[in-house]
Structures are given as structure tokens and as C-alpha cells.
Amino acid sequence: MKKLTVKTALDNYPVLIGVDVFNFLPQLIEERNLPKRFFVIVDENVFKHFSSIINKNLNPFGTKISFIILKASEKSKSLKTLQRLYTILSEKNFGRDTLIVAIGGGTLGDIAGFAASTYMRGVPLIHIPTTLLSCVDSSIGGKTAVNFKDAKNLIGTFYQPEAVLIDLNFLETVPRKEIISGLGEVVKYSYLTNGDFYEELLSKSNKLIKKDLDYLSRVIYECAKIKAAVISKDEKEISGVRKILNFGHTFAHAFESNSSYKISHGKAVLAGIISAIYLSRKKELISDNQLKRMVELPLKFKSFINLKDFDEKKLFNLMSYDKKRKDEKIKFVLIKNFGEILVDLEAQRKEIHCALKKTREVLI
């Protein structure tokens, strides 16, 4: 088992990574003196495969447990789903002595986190991510959200969990297409450090595509380490350090929204990274040679991205609604070099159109 620590203003919390780390849950609940009334929000598929192990780790406490089985999707990341959770919590008389345990992928974690941060002004939360995307990104760092109207993650909070348990057993039953969907965030991390991780992923991209679990466990640890370090420096995206994690995301959110969330977040991030690299070139932050090297990795996964053709004007308008918008200008996270990410950069409408046009040329 490997352990990372996320340092935050209120508390530090552990991220445990390994096979069977779920079995540490009872010990963790005792150590951190957490409530023993459990509201378990669990993904439908995960529950199908792992209900006995989930019960085994929660039943010893012999207190109140409610299981809410969710078929989470980007569409269900809504106020309506939240209302359903609040209704069950209140009807079953869950009080402030409740521990919410979120077992599932990124969308489930986002909704569960939002419910935990708001129900009775906040109850403790443990994340048990079960998809590649949630293991490497969304379960760490305390972002919670629901989508509203056309805008992704428009309503949300920062709310750090008590712990994150990344049990690699869960990945065994995750379909390969789900792993591919998580690759966008994995690839993103490889631009945030000196380039070694990028080269490694480039040479081992086949292992990722084939869902090699041994290699995935190394990749998850590497990504979680980068994420934990960034969050420890800038928990609430105040100093700007955390914004580097949004590399490719301004474009990605627009691709997702434009497809009515039919394209998965991870795949949209792959496309968004390509657009951000072209925009970086357009703004002369990188040379042609750097561009060529930087697009090589996301393009390895080109056949999986399935981006439908798009209208630049519509995408531009969607980006204007992005939550990172300030003073009517869209802000981008762009790249100058590996490990040198620039945040809050503005771009002219024509530069954005040009980056989108290049993205279309290489992807569609």
C-alpha cells in the first residue's frame, strides 16, 4: 500500500492506494473518530460486483446504514438528484453525526461531495473512487459540483474529504472504455512536470489502452502524487497554482456541453488539451517543434476520442459561460514548456477559432 497526504487549512487527510485498501475503512473510521451512521452513495455497477465487501467493511459497526444506489452520469449530476439525496437523508433522520461514503466514479463523487458539504451545513465524507478518472483526479482535492442549465459544474463547493481510499480491486471490473475515458486526466498530469512522465506514457501508451492493471497502479500513484502536491499548495484555487489542473478544460467543458454530455469528460479533456496546445502555439508560447512533441501523446488515443464535428461559434459561446470567465474575457490555461503552465491567459476570438480549426483538422 502507498500513502500520500493532502495538506489543507483545516486538516490533513490521507490518500491510500493499493489492492484491498478498502479493508482499512473500519480502522480509519476509528482513528479519525468519524460518525458511525453511514449514508453510502454507491454506483449501481460497483454495488453489483462488490456488495459483500462493502457490507463487510461497514457492518462491524452495527449502526445505521443506508445504501443509495445511483446510476451516475453527467446528466444525473443535477439539482434533481441532489434533492433526492436530501429527501432520503432527512426522511431517514440522518443528523450531523452522519458519515457519507461515496463509492463510484467522478460524477457520483461530485454529487455526493456536494450533498456532504451542504447537508446540515456539512457532514464528514470519505471518497472511494472506482474509475480511473476519479482515482487520479476528482476524488482528491475537494471539488464538488452539479451542472446547471448548459454549464458544467456551475454550482459547487470546496469540501475536503476525511480520506480517499483508492482500492485497485475496483478497477478490475471497470470496462476498458471507462479506462480510456480516464486517460484525458492522466495525460494532463504529464504536462505539469518536467516531461519524464510524458515520455514514459508515450512509450507505454499500449499498456494503458490494454488496461494493464500493474502499470495502471503506477500511473494512478504518479498522478495522485502530483494532484496531492498541487492541492497542498493551493487548496481553493486562490493563488493560481491549482488552476494548472484545468489545462485543456476550458475547451473540454465546451466540447462536453456541445455534445449534451454524450462525449465523456476524459475524452473531452484529450481533445481540449490538443486545442490548448494549438492555442499556445498561436500565441507563440511554444515552437512548432514543441507543438509536434506535445500533441503526440493525446493523438495516440485519437481513435477513441470520437469528437463529433462542431461549430466554432457555438463552442465559443459555450466557453463564455464557463465558470472561469471573468470580465467577459475567457481565460485559458496554456503551456510554455513541460512543467511551465501559464494560467489566466486571455485570447482573441480569432485565436480561439484557429485553435478549434486545428483541433478539427487533426481529430475529425
The residues assigned a catalytic role are 121, 143, 185, 227, 237, 242, 246, 249, 253, 265
Q: How far apart are CA 321 and CA 312, in angstroms?
A: 15
The CA radius of gyration of the chain, in Å to the nearest whole number, is: 20
**Any residues with CB less than 8 A from the CB of 248 and at least 6 apart, and which?**
184, 188, 269, 270, 272, 273, 274, 275, 276, 333
Residues that bind ligand GLY (CB under 6 A): 137, 141, 143, 242, 245-246
78 and 147 Cβ atoms separated by less than 8 Å: yes
Choice between 249 and 358, CB closer to ligand GLY: 249
Q: Which is nearer to ligand GLY, 124 or 266 (CB)?
A: 266
Smallest separation (angstroms) from ligand GLY to the CB of 105: 14
The residue of the chain with the least Cβ separation from ligand GLY equals 245
- Sequence-separated (6 or more) residues with CB below 8 Å from residue 89: 39, 98, 115, 119
The nearest distance, CB 364 to ligand GLY, in angstroms, is: 26
Q: Provide the angle, in degrees to the nearest 10, between the axes of the packed helices 265-282 and 288-300.
A: 170
Distance CA 254, CA 320 (A): 9
Q: Which is nearer to ligand GLY, 109 or 141 (CB)?
A: 141
Residue 186 near residue 223, CB atoms below 8 Å:
yes
Contact (CB, 8 A) for 273 and 187: yes
Q: How far is the CB of 243 from ligand GLY (least distance, A)?
A: 8
Q: Judged by CB, which is closer to ligand GLY: 113, or 141?
A: 141
CB of 282 to ligand GLY, least distance (A): 24
